[in-house]
Amino acid sequence: MKDLIFHRHLLPAAERSADTPAYFDGADEITHGRHVERVLRLVHGLGSELGVGPGDRFAVMALNGHPFLELYHAAFLGAAVINPLNLRLAPKELEFILQDSGTRVCFVDRAFAPLVDRVRGEAGIDKVVLIGAGEGTGDVPHDVAYEDVVAAGKAVVPPEPEEDDLSILMYTGGTTGLPKGVLIDNRALLLDLYKIAAVWGIDDTFVYLHQTPMFHAASLGGILGVPAAGGHTTYVPMFDPGAVLDVIEQRQVTMTVMVPTMVAMLLAHPDFRPERLASLRVLTYGASPMPTALLEQLLSLLPDLDVYQGYGMTENCGLLTALGPAEHRRGGGLLRSAGRAVPGAVLTIQDPEGAVMGAGETGEVCARSGNFMRSYWNRAEETDDAFRGGWYHTGDAGYLDGDGYLYLVDRVKDMIVTGGENVYSAEVENALASHPAVNQVAVIGIPSEQWGEAVHAVVVTRPDATVTEDELKAWCRDRIAGFKVPKSFDLRDEPLPLSGAMKVLKRELRAPYWEGRDRTVN
């Protein structure tokens, strides 16, 4: 029997309290019933006004807000496949993703309409839909207003999609230098919903704040779990510590997700006072470990707060392991752990030949779980490689202790975690290598008090060429997102150190920067 998220979970939750205000977006208050009516109209309008149907992809490039949630929920109803776009994409990256996905309709807000307009011809976009159209948006490039699409639709419940129908195409950084589209079907989302409910125990009293970007898998708990439980949702367009303090206090927010950098900025804000966060019951962080000093400060200021760490990846809807409140308060070595597998997930540590390793032995983290992606979009070989031997290979190196706690010790694929964003060194290296003055390049993560890790490039220039750091930064900014551009450079004449297999020895390049420091990352 089918058990679909919207038809079997979101709709009943809305019907139980249809007249209750549940979604708060600035001054707008939307009831459960009104939300469902708008989503149903949107589903119909996607087809009647935009020619988008089941299996088609539509993109969203917008700040956090209720229309973004409506577009996700329309996809869950089977309207089409949502393609949420990273807001930091460079034009060439955006153009590639839109072309690669076959997207023909893109929803944008005022902030990103000019960028999408810049690439729409090369990307093959037929229609741009402007979210928030109104006074002052007459000169913003677009074809149709979002509210006109909603108004034109009919509030009728469409046929239920199948569990194996696709719902999300979410692009993630690629180790080959190009983003990869992760295909997520309804069954994976449904199982993710159950895991979210099991770990956090969400009910209709929860008030969730979207402050991590809604294009990211880390936001799926708020997109899926809270509405399905009949809870309440509010937003800040993008992270701003002052705005977050205001919204938590005004809306009595009980649950949110942050990365450690955001937590540090919140506690350091001049308007911060512990009582302003008194309503907060659950705080989940991920993307990088919480520094011990920061965690101790947080728990001291908010002793009743339940703190969780989540570890996962886009390929499994963002949740594979969790470290709960009890472990955080116990402290000690457990704070370096990424937690234990969530219900329904199984972890192993494997050597390069696929043999399972024992407790305490370091190898590649591999997993099985029902909420993994269907495949990488149009990348059959990479999909087969990722799931070789029947296990998903995360590309992370780590070990399991005797109690099943996972400890991550390195990134097999040399991923850099900077301010909660994942940067694959190959992407940055490919951008730099295209500069005519660059002979060799290696990109590594080095310590940063502000960002955890900072992107650093070691560049060997061509014998008769000269180039400056500023020139290389400008070159990168035209080709990759701003957060991927190296913060610092080491320009040298001597060749990079190579192994016997002629691979660059990045460990040797990192060693001077990390001497005496623990580069354990989550």
- Name the nearest CA neighbour of 178 among 83, 87, 58, 90: 90
Distance of alpha carbon 381 from alpha carbon 377, whole angstroms: 11
Q: Which domain holds residue 425?
A: 417-514
Residue that has been written with the tokens 């708020």 in this structure: 222
pLDDT of residue 518: 60
Q: Are 457 and 445 in contact (CB under 8 A)?
A: no
448 domain residue, yes or no: yes
Expressed in angstroms, the distance from the first to the final Cα of the chain is 38
Residue 201 — left, alpha, or beta (φ > 0 → left; ψ -120 to 50 → alpha)? Answer: left
- pLDDT per position in the chain (522 positions), as tens? 355 566 667 777 777 888 899 999 988 999 999 999 999 999 999 999 999 999 999 999 999 999 999 999 999 999 999 999 999 888 999 999 999 999 999 999 999 999 999 999 999 999 999 999 776 777 899 999 999 999 999 999 888 888 899 999 999 865 445 789 999 999 999 899 889 988 999 999 999 999 999 999 989 999 999 998 899 999 999 999 999 999 999 999 999 999 887 888 899 899 999 999 999 999 999 866 676 778 888 999 999 999 999 999 999 998 999 999 999 988 888 888 899 999 999 999 999 899 999 999 988 999 999 999 999 999 999 999 999 999 999 988 889 999 999 998 756 556 788 888 878 777 788 789 889 898 888 899 999 988 889 999 999 998 888 899 999 999 999 989 999 999 999 999 888 887 533 457 888 898 899 887 765 443
pLDDT of residue 452: 86
**What DSSP string describes 233-285?**
EEE-SS--HHHHHHHHHHHT--EEEE-HHHHHHHHHSTT--GGGGTT--EEEE
Residue 31 C-alpha from the chain's centroid:
27
Query: Of 411, 429, 459, which closes a domain?
Result: 411
Measured at the CA of 236, the angle between CA 230 and CA 238, to 5 degrees, comes to: 130
235 domain residue, yes or no: no
pLDDT of residue 330: 87
Distance of alpha carbon 23 from alpha carbon 51, whole angstroms: 28
Same domain membership, residue 498 and residue 370: no
Same domain membership, residue 106 and residue 48: yes
Same domain membership, residue 370 and residue 489: no
Same domain membership, residue 356 and residue 486: no
Query: Of 386, 411, 436, which closes a domain?
Result: 411
254 domain residue, yes or no: no
Same domain membership, residue 369 and residue 493: no
Distance of alpha carbon 415 from alpha carbon 392, whole angstroms: 17
Distance of alpha carbon 370 from alpha carbon 62, whole angstroms: 30
CATH code for position 113: 3.40.50.12780
Number of alpha carbons in the 13 Å side-chain half-sphere of residue 339: 28
165 domain residue, yes or no: yes
Task: Write the DSSP symbol of residue 362.
Answer: -
Beta bridge partners of 106: 59, 128
CATH code for position 436: 3.30.300.30
17 domain residue, yes or no: yes
277 domain residue, yes or no: no
Query: Of 131, 157, 185, which closes a domain?
Result: 185
Same domain membership, residue 371 and residue 425: no
Q: Are 404 and 337 in contact (CB under 8 A)?
A: no
Same domain membership, residue 165 and residue 25: yes
Distance of alpha carbon 478 from alpha carbon 458, whole angstroms: 19
Distance of alpha carbon 202 from alpha carbon 355, whole angstroms: 38
Same domain membership, residue 121 and residue 169: yes
Same domain membership, residue 28 and residue 175: yes
Task: Give the type of residue at 254.
Answer: T
Beta bridge partners of 184: 168
Same domain membership, residue 407 and residue 485: no
Per this entry, what is the length of the chain?
522
Name the 3-class secondary structure at 60. Answer: strand
27 domain residue, yes or no: yes
- Name the nearest CA neighbour of 342 among 327, 325, 326, 320: 320
pLDDT of residue 396: 84
pTM attached to this predicted model: 0.82
Tally of domains in the chain: 3
CATH code for position 367: 2.30.38.10
- Name the nearest CA neighbour of 511 among 432, 456, 441: 456
Beta bridge partners of 392: 367
pLDDT of residue 366: 97
Distance of alpha carbon 110 from alpha carbon 100, whole angstroms: 24
Task: Give the type of residue at 25.
Answer: D
Same domain membership, residue 507 and residue 371: no
Residue that has been written with the tokens 């009293």 in this structure: 205
- Name the nearest CA neighbour of 90 among 485, 469, 425: 485
Distance of alpha carbon 285 from alpha carbon 344, whole angstroms: 21
pLDDT of residue 173: 66
Token pair for 79: 């309207």
Same domain membership, residue 154 and residue 16: yes
Q: Are 509 and 444 in contact (CB under 8 A)?
A: yes
* Sequence-distant (≥ 6) Cβ neighbours of residue 292 within 8 angstroms: 331, 335
172 domain residue, yes or no: yes
